[in-house]
Structure 1
């Protein structure tokens, strides 16, 4: 499984696609059952690539920070699912949108700041 850890591109691609599908599914409303199922497939792909990178990240002696990033990623996925499920049930989603944005910011910050992340300024 070295193709998952040689670069972070596979992981970044999966979570970008997942976020795009999530935004489309959340704005189309209750008519997005197929999108929701596709999004769940991408959840699995994000988690698999994330686990592979987490295992590789332990070589940098920053296991705890990579653990926080992994936990943040799981929380982002959880908030995405909560928004869609509560939206389908016509319940309020404001709190989950706020938590989604907060956890996404924290996870992206850690992901780009840690040694395996992308350096956009170089």
Structure 2
């Protein structure tokens, strides 16, 4: 089942879309809609982690160090998404969290493209 990355990519694309939707709902003042959508997003966090762990356990032998860094980067991306939403809902500053989120997302995405299961754009 996990010889390819279709399920994993689908879950993180949907999660990124839901993340933007929650941000827009929070900014629009629809707190109830934001809370419901954020709960759905949290389910997708679990699905991302589950599919990521399955892929990692099957394919990390190709390059354990880089797959480990990619795994850690993915966890950091999920953590930053959640922290941005929670702190944003409370009206706190999220500037540093956005910087960490964008950096971790870029590193994780780059490694996803570079490693053997990716599109090998940077080989």
Query: What is the TM-score normalised by the length of structure 1?
Result: 0.91
Q: Say which of 56, 77, 98 aligns to 2:58.
A: 56
Say whether 1:27 aligns with 2:29. Answer: no
CA distance in 2, matches of 1:74, 1:101: 13
| Deviant stretches of 4+, over 6 Å | none
Unaligned 5+ runs, structure 2: none
How do residues 1-122 of structure 1 correspond to structure 2 at under 5 angstroms?
A: 3=1, 5-29=2-26, 31=31, 32-60=34-62, 62-119=63-120
CA RMSD of the aligned region, Å?
1.4
CA distance in 1, matches of 2:17, 2:5: 18
CA distance in 1, matches of 2:86, 2:56: 28
Query: What is the TM-score normalised by the length of structure 2?
Result: 0.90
Query: 2:60 touches 2:68 (CA, 8 Å); kept in 1?
Result: no
In structure 2, the CA distance between the partners of 1:79 and 1:117, relative to structure 1 (3 Å rule), is same
Q: How many residues align?
A: 117
Corresponding residue SS for 2:37: helix
Unaligned 5+ runs, structure 1: none
